[in-house]
Structure 1
Amino acid sequence: MAKPSKWRQAVQRIVKSEMSVRGVKYQGLSDRLAEIGIEQSADNLRNKVNKGIMGADLLLQILMVLNARPLSMENLVEILTDLEREDG
């Protein structure tokens, strides 16, 4: 299977990091999204996050319900740089 793009990996890291900081698992994320009228099963969210593939609207909704920390350009560059280093 082809390796996901750096951008998809960045999405994955950002969402997983915010979930981890708040101690939120996929079912909890599903529940939080349901509170704002967004129906996504825990399994569906897990698949989308692990692949780093989701619509911009869902990404923003996830970041909102997680009360995510602001993502600065510097943070994004740092994530992408780390991914480049890992590719070696």
Structure 2
Amino acid sequence: MDSVNWRLVVQRLIKSEMSLKGIRYQELSDKLLEIGVSQTADNLRNKVNKGILGADLLLQIMLVMDIKKIERERLKEIAKSLQKEG
């Protein structure tokens, strides 16, 4: 797991959760604004695509998307799939 690009893991994790819940970037932006976090849809798209979120924004996204937990095994699966691609 040394050579894992963790930014790509973050990217895939958030994108998969958004897909599972049917949430688009504009809706995510709106949900964040409801809790006082101002992020445009374009800004979120850029941050997610680059996998460069601060811990605070990641937690805020998890909160508004109602992500109850991130399982260790899921992170390992994403990381392994990225290693196979690389």
TM-score scaled by structure 2? 0.91
Deviation for aligned residue 1:74: 1.1
2:85: which partner in 1? 86
Deviation for aligned residue 1:6: 1.3
Unaligned stretches of 5+ in structure 1? none
1:77: which partner in 2? 76
SS in 2 for 1:30: helix
How many residues are treated as equivalent by the alignment?
A: 83
Deviation for aligned residue 1:61: 0.5
1:67: which partner in 2? 66
Q: Over the residues paired in the alignment, what is the CA RMSD in angstroms?
A: 1.1
SS in 1 for 2:38: coil
1:57: which partner in 2? 56
Structure 1 segments, 4+ long, off by >6 Å, are none
Aligned-partner Cα distance in 1 for 2:74–2:39: 28
> How do 1:6-85 and structure 2 match up within 5 A?
6-85=5-84
Deviation for aligned residue 1:40: 0.3
- Identity between Structure 1 and Structure 2 (%): 58
Unaligned stretches of 5+ in structure 2? none
Q: Which amino acid letter does the alignment assign opposite residue 82 of structure 1?
A: S
Aligned-partner Cα distance in 1 for 2:66–2:72: 18
Deviation for aligned residue 1:50: 0.4
